Amino acid sequence: MLEGGLLGWVTEQLIKLDDQVPGLIARVLTAAPKRRQAIFAALAVNDVRGGDFTIGDDLFPAPLAEVIRHGRASDILRHAFNQVPEGFSGLLERIGERPLGRPQDYMLLHAVAAGDGSVGVEALRDGRITGRKLAVYSALDDRWRHANTLGRIDTTGEALTFNRAVDFVQAVSTRATDEVVANAIAAMRPTSTLPRLLDRLLRRADRLPEHPITAGDNELRPLASMRELLEAGRKHRNCLAYRLADVAAGKMALAEFREDCLVEFRPLTQGRGWLLRDVHIERNRPVPLALFAEVEAKCDALGVPRIDEVGSCDGWKSYRNFTGELEWG
């Protein structure tokens, strides 16, 4: 039964040890999960050290096979690791009946319990412990290692992306301190998501890039804070709330023209200023050409460049004015 690799990398070791102490395999297969995982952990130490070894202290050494065959879970762990961190045995129970995918996973789990102590044990408290979960734990910034992140992140790539996303939020918000972010993670409800958490933190950003319209007036008012952006999004009933990260990153800027529309600016390459990109009205409906022209004239007066429509512009504008209702009806 074991010759087919039933227990993965553990199989070969168990067969060899059963030759030394007959009945060892049967003992392992009928052991409770706690003791079985203690055996797998000891075999992981054996594998990492490169072969069978005598475990135990200097006064009472014992062959590995004997300890596995007759020892209790605590005896096996103590003989294999010498120092058994508090909570390590409980973490092993969360693995289940089969061994982790690699011996190194057991060494990592031991290092978590020994190095991170109660923080690591608490972070891994929920759900089954797998090699993938341990990899995610290792990839997460140690400030964000919590049961609420481990339960919502599936891969190391996602963990690294989350780390960078938090870095971005903290770069644009003095309020998103380590303590604030950690407390927000700890307070997450079962239905909460990490994207929503980051969005809430971003809405408090107070380090926005300098706005291209530095001298606003009664006609063109720069939206230079998160509060102004959110209020404008609600007022004009559009998707502005989903573009906050672009504004915070300096990829776009917005202003309000006569309270009639929102004016979108985009940065030019090589720091050469900003460009008038678009105009938006309520619910993102088609913008009347006359209003668009007024915005263009205002930006021209401020020295903000824009894309210049070439060709028979007068005819094109007349065509748009005449047929616009049909196009968007």
Mean pLDDT of the region 173-190: 97
Q: Is the pLDDT of residue 216 over 90?
A: no
Within-domain flag for 209: no
Q: How many domains does the chain have?
A: 2
pLDDT range class, residue 313, cuts 50, 70, 90: low
User: What range defines the domain where residue 246 resides?
Assistant: 220-328
**Residues 237 and 176 placed together within one structural domain of the fold:** no
Within-domain flag for 275: yes
Q: Is the pLDDT of residue 73 over 60?
A: yes
**Residues 191 and 224 placed together within one structural domain of the fold:** no
**Residues 312 and 271 placed together within one structural domain of the fold:** yes
**Residues 56 and 164 placed together within one structural domain of the fold:** yes
Give the whole-angstrom CA distance, residue 307 versus residue 325: 24
**Residues 224 and 197 placed together within one structural domain of the fold:** no
**Residues 12 and 99 placed together within one structural domain of the fold:** yes
Within-domain flag for 208: no
The last residue of one of the domains, among 138, 172, 202, is 202
**Residues 187 and 257 placed together within one structural domain of the fold:** no
**Residues 265 and 189 placed together within one structural domain of the fold:** no
Measuring CA to CA, which residue among 187, 90, 78 is closest to residue 129? 90
Give the whole-angstrom CA distance, residue 310 versus residue 306: 12
Within-domain flag for 63: yes
Within-domain flag for 33: yes
pLDDT value of residue 303 = 92
The last residue of one of the domains, among 169, 202, 235, is 202
pLDDT value of residue 116 = 81
**Residues 185 and 98 placed together within one structural domain of the fold:** yes
**Residues 157 and 24 placed together within one structural domain of the fold:** yes
Q: Could you read off the pLDDT of 126-137 as tens digits, one per residue?
A: 899 999 999 999
Q: Is the pLDDT of residue 314 over 80?
A: no
**Residues 188 and 49 placed together within one structural domain of the fold:** yes
Of 94-98, 176-180, 271-275, 313-317, which gets the smallest average pLDDT?
Answer: 313-317
Q: Is the pLDDT of residue 6 over 90?
A: no
Within-domain flag for 211: no
pLDDT value of residue 49 = 77
Within-domain flag for 241: yes
Within-domain flag for 324: yes
What torsion do the CA atoms of 309, 313, 318, 321 make, to the nearest 10 degrees?
Answer: 10
pLDDT range class, residue 215, cuts 50, 70, 90: confident
**Residues 180 and 32 placed together within one structural domain of the fold:** yes
The last residue of one of the domains, among 202, 230, 264, is 202
